[in-house]
Structure 1
Amino acid sequence: MTNTPAFALSRDSSEALADQIVRSVAARIDERLLRPGARMPSIRQFAATHGVSPFTVVASYDRLVAQGYLDSRRGAGFFVRERAQPAERPATAAPAGASTLDVAWLIRNMFRQSPLQLSPGAGVLPADWMDGPAVANALKSLSRQNSAGLLGYGAPHGFLPLRQQLQRKLAELEIEAPPEHIVMTLGVTQALDLVAREFCRPGDTVLVDDPAWFLMFGSFAAMGLNVVGVRRLADGPDLEQLAELAALHRPCLYVINSVLHNPTSTSISAPKAFQVLRLAEQFGFTVVEDDIYADLHPGSATRLAALDGLRQVIYLGGFSKSMAPNLRVGFIAASGERARRLADRKMLATLTTSDIGERVVYKILSEGHYRKHLDRVRSRLDAVRPGALRQLELLGLRADPAPSAGMFIWVDAGRDTNELAARAMREDLLLAPGSLFSPNQLPSTRMRLNVAALQDPATSGFLERALIG
């Protein structure tokens, strides 16, 4: 048995005794003061030495086992576990050339563990812009409820009270969708995947805006689908090109951000929306309206689903951009038959979605705080956007079109932005070069910038050095 000296535990600390024990034991193991294979004091001995209850010691040892610091051997006790030393993270290697920057590169660097909290290429708002207290309070409220309701599978369509709340929310957008027409998903990413798998077959063509959200290009291609871009203009798609491509390819789907399009932050005009629906009817394709940025729009906007009544349109929404990306709560609104098919498809893929996150979103929406949170977020974006546009103009970056809402600015740098992205990565900054927003992935002088990130000195300093010298 190891000779473990007593730890200095404080009863006056705000840190729980079990937390103090776990932290102290883990530190001694990390510092190699407790060697691998050494036997820990028995629960009774540790409790007596430190003047704590055996229950506190059991909870501490169990957490140390779960964290990989100790092994529990039945009938023998607890032993220090051999731990692999974490490899030192190598210096970030910049891509060797334009061909190495692809969608996977951007996704990897968006989610890797590094100081990329306010990177200009990020697709979400900073954490301190989100309503963390509301999420925390909703989780606390859930923890006080009967745990039986949190331990089983969710409902196939998703948490019913949330779908009822979404029915009211969509009605404000003039979209009629009863709860049975709404299917909850793991974010809009899963929603797009389910729709494509249900309504397309390998070899079919999917039309997307060009530029558009890069992740779906790789996802659709992996399904064996042909991804074809439709030129995006300031008021929506190029209708002449859309008609030509629809006649040529007879697509199964056309995926569009109608409101606060990613990456340009533009929205479709009502006349163009009617023409898109007319073409969908003429050529027999389904319109998938991705409205993930809906809550960042300050006023009324044209929605295809509202004009169409969910006949030719499947509507997607979620809360990752406005509430919390980590909740992964999205939804599909569709006709009754399509909703049933998509719920079945979801069950084949993941059984049901976890309704814990859905219950959190329901509580936040139903208590009325969400509207005030959105007002604050939109006000912050409106406050920083004019200064950001002036700053970019001084750097020689042209915003065309200049957005009046949303979190993104789509700029023309006048040079290959793949090269800028490679240089930024050497300084631990993530840029989103324009090549990744087009299905053809060709080099581009465009890039997407996050308005909030432009307030960060590291971002503005890099852009000044890279563009002005």
Structure 2
Amino acid sequence: MLFFEPVRDRRQGPSLVDQAVDAIEQAILQGVLRPGMALPSVRQFARLHGLSTFTVSAAYSRLVAQNQLTSRPGSGYRVALTAAPGRQPRAPVDWLPPRMGAAWLLADVFADHSIPIKSGCGWLPSDWLNEAGLQQSLRQVARTPVNQIAGYGHPYGYHPLREHIQQSLRQHGLILETDQILLTQGATQALDIVLRTLLRAGDAIAVELPCYANFLQSLRLAGLRPVGVPRKADGLCMQSLEEAARDHGVKALFVNTVLHNPTGTSLTMGEAFRVLQLAEQYNFRVIEDDVSRDLLPGLGPMLAAMGGTDRVIYVSGFSKSIMPSMRVGYVVANAAMLKDMAQTKMTLGLTTPELMERTVYQVLRQGRHQAHLLRLQDRLRQAHDELGHLMDQHGFETYARPQAGLFLWARPGQAWQGRGASALAELALPHGIWLAPGLYFDPDQTDTAWMRFNVAYSTHPRLWEFMREVGAAGPV
């Protein structure tokens, strides 16, 4: 189907993107395109109208942002069910890509549905989740008598869930009492509580380089001084960590033991022991962020189990394995320290939502959750294989090949040498592609060519077509 005849002289009419958007809107208004109908693929539409795929991608992305079209990876574009024909035309609205930066990454990106290819995001696609298990758990919680959930709940959180966490961590060698487990609104709040309880403005804290981006924002908000310690393929640079402890007097180290965000790497057992030795020698605490352990096939070192809860504060949650919007996390420490953290939690926002904690508990106690994790691990491994092949094919350099978890850390080859990834990310946004450049993950916001790729979102053909078009992939 030919939707319009493009006017290529910009002096005679609107841009090609505007023309494509207007033509599709008219087709919807006239009932030629009805709710739920599939549109031609980006390539087909471009070929039919003699346009570049960039132009068509931008037009489709704008229509998604305007709720005229819907898009799901692998399923193409369809007319939105709410885009009923016969309504009055509205004045055209120019879709503008969001402005990149720390504020967008930290907040707006979670509400921004205008980007169909979220290669830089930090969560699983919705169709990878255990939908049946979640629905069953929600039905179970809905049958709870109101008088059991009408109050604020316990400051430490829902006790059966804390008991389940206690037994789960015991399998990793971490022996706890339930009064050493504090439930929080996700791991992000857990980290905030730890920082507010243990550290004061001006204190130095050692962080991995690159480091989990949102944690860096928390440090800035708390007035703490991050000291970067390079992350290697098998762990941390121990010489840099010792120098940070000796020369900067760091009070704590923040570390992802397994499936590091953003490189995807894990510490070896030897590296984990060395971290704990330096922590004892220089008397700093270790904040272990372990939110991705459920995505790791097999075993990996757990610093809290190896070093004990006097030295290591352990943080985890369920957003990676259950659902991002299920904001339930937890922090583990010795009983005295956790009592102080509970007071910080209550000061900041009182108790945490027991309805969500009960839902998570119901999901975890089902026998099907472990089967879901095994399927998820296998699916992620396959995505790593496919993305690694695409990286090789397009001349990208990968930092490591973890073959597990969500992330791969990579940079373009010679074609993009000497340029930062932020410029590439800016070019990608108008075409409906979100990339996560390395400056997000750097305490000094240094603009390198490295980027974080979410393997579950990064095999989309349009992403690699874009890389070829802008020259980031070089000749292929």
Q: TM-score range by the shorter chain?
A: 0.7 to 0.9
- Runs of at least 5 residues in structure 1 that lack an aligned partner in the other structure: 1-85, 96-100
Question: Normalized against structure 1, the TM-score is what?
Answer: 0.78
Find the residue that maps to 2:325 and give its secondary structure. helix
Say if 1:203 and 1:89 are closer, same or farther in 2 by CA, change over 3 A.
farther
CA distance in structure 1 between the aligned counterparts of 2:376 and 2:103, rounded to whole angstroms: 30
CA distance in structure 2 between the aligned counterparts of 1:192 and 1:88, rounded to whole angstroms: 44
Q: Which residue of 2 aligns with 1:107?
A: 106
Matched, 1:203 2:211: no
Q: CA deviation at 1:323?
A: 0.5
1:328-407 aligned at under 5 Å gives the runs 328-407=327-406
Query: How many residues are treated as equivalent by the alignment?
Result: 379
Q: Which residue of 1 aligns with 2:140?
A: 141
1:38-437 aligned at under 5 Å gives the runs 90-93=94-97, 95=99, 101-116=100-115, 118-413=117-412, 414=417, 415-437=419-441
Q: Which residue of 2 aligns with 1:445?
A: 449
Contact 1:118 1:126 in 2 (8 A): no
Q: CA deviation at 1:186?
A: 0.6
Find the residue that maps to 2:227 and give its secondary structure. strand
CA distance in structure 1 between the aligned counterparts of 2:215 and 2:352, rounded to whole angstroms: 21
Contact 1:400 1:411 in 2 (8 A): yes
1:198-248 CA-to-partner distances (Å, cap 9, x unmatched) read 000111111110001011112111111111111111111111110011111
1:385-427 CA-to-partner distances (Å, cap 9, x unmatched) read 1121011111111112122211111002244110111011111
Q: Which residue of 2 aligns with 1:57?
A: none
Find the residue that maps to 1:375 and give its secondary structure. helix
Letter in 1 for 2:165: L
Find the residue that maps to 1:292 and give its secondary structure. coil
Contact 2:264 2:407 in 1 (8 A): yes
Tell me the percent identity.
36
1:329-359 CA-to-partner distances (Å, cap 9, x unmatched) read 0000111111111111101111110111110
1:417-467 CA-to-partner distances (Å, cap 9, x unmatched) read 101110111112211001111101011010000111123233233233232
Find the residue that maps to 1:452 and give its secondary structure. coil
CA distance in structure 2 between the aligned counterparts of 1:181 and 1:468, rounded to whole angstroms: 50
Q: CA deviation at 1:166?
A: 0.3
Q: CA RMSD in A?
A: 1.7
CA distance in structure 2 between the aligned counterparts of 1:333 and 1:394, rounded to whole angstroms: 44
Letter in 1 for 2:157: G
Q: Which moved more, 1:128-137 or 1:190-199?
A: 128-137
Q: CA deviation at 1:94?
A: 6.3
Q: Which moved more, 1:115-124 or 1:277-286?
A: 115-124
Say if 1:145 and 1:205 are closer, same or farther in 2 by CA, change over 3 A.
same
Contact 2:208 2:231 in 1 (8 A): yes
Find the residue that maps to 1:142 and give its secondary structure. helix
Q: CA deviation at 1:150?
A: 2.1
Q: Which residue of 2 aligns with 1:52?
A: none
Q: CA deviation at 1:110?
A: 2.2
Matched, 1:460 2:459: no
Q: CA deviation at 1:187?
A: 0.7
Q: CA deviation at 1:106?
A: 2.1
Structure number, greater radius of gyration? 1
Find the residue that maps to 1:113 and give its secondary structure. coil
1:9-24 aligned at under 5 Å gives the runs none
CA distance in structure 2 between the aligned counterparts of 1:337 and 1:117, rounded to whole angstroms: 47
Find the residue that maps to 2:122 and give its secondary structure. coil
Q: Which residue of 2 aligns with 1:13?
A: none
Contact 1:110 1:116 in 2 (8 A): no
Contact 1:181 1:336 in 2 (8 A): yes
Contact 1:319 1:328 in 2 (8 A): yes
CA distance in structure 2 between the aligned counterparts of 1:347 and 1:88, rounded to whole angstroms: 48
